[in-house]
Structure formats: structure tokens, C-alpha cells
Amino acid sequence: MKGQDKLEGVHPDLVKVIARAREMALEAGDDFMVVEGLRTIKRQRQLFVSGASRTMRSRHLTGHAVDLAPIVDGEVTWKWPAFYPLASQVKAAAKELGVPVIWGGDWKTFKDGPHFELDRRQYP
């Protein structure tokens, strides 16, 4: 999987979901890569200061979140339509594995298409 090394330090349940989602994506003729998993405080501060994140309490800091990017025609894309199939695959994998995952694209404000995290209610 592209970006597999970026899953180091990520919660094993989320890693399992991402691996299963990738299998589903490939079966559907899609692909994606892991852009970011566990973050340092320094990296989180950079993202916060730049406005790319709105919190210093990111789930990335504890290994409970990952950012994924769809690959279309061999290239990473940040266009919103490509995130919907990816989100569907991650949600289906999470459901199949019984691991509650939240997609940043479903948030009411500051929608974050690349972001997937373990639900805080079961993974504090």
C-alpha cells in the first residue's frame, strides 16, 4: 500500500480498517494512499498555525487518525468527488470489522475529506 510506512504508530484497529478498505478499493478498480498517520506536536502546530487544522488536540497525535488521498489515473487527487468512493470503502471496511470510524467529510463544519478517525466514544 502506498504510504504504508505512515501507518507506524497508528492504532492497530484503524490499520486493519485501512488495509481492508484498500482491498475493497482495488476490487472496485480504485486506489488510495496514506498521506499521514501519527503526528508530532511540532507537525500539528504547523498545521494549526497554517489553518490546515483547527485544533491542537488532533486524533493524529495519539495514533487514532489517518489522512488518506484517492489516486485517480495514477495520480493523487484532492478533488472532492474522488473522496466519496474512498469514504464509502473505509466506512464499509469499518462496519465489516466492527470498528467505529468517523469521516471528516461528514463533519458539519471544517469538512476534511482526507481525515478518518476512530470514534472517541469507543476509542478515548
Residue ranges covered by each domain of the chain: 4-118
Mean pLDDT in residue range 7-33: 96
Mean pLDDT estimate for the chain: 94
Name the architecture of domain 4-118: 2-Layer Sandwich (3.30)
Span between the terminal Cα atoms of the chain, in Å: 28
* Residue 110's pLDDT band (cuts 50, 70, 90): confident
Q: Which helix (H) or strand (E) holds 17?
A: helix 12-27
Distance CA 21, CA 31 (A): 9
Q: What is the CA radius of gyration of the chain?
A: 14
* pLDDT at position 1 over 70: no
| b/e sequence 40-52, b meaning 16+ C-beta within 10 Å | eeeebeebeeeee
Q: What is the pTM of this model?
A: 0.93
SS3 66: strand
**What are the pLDDT digits (tens) for 24-39?**
999 999 999 999 999 9
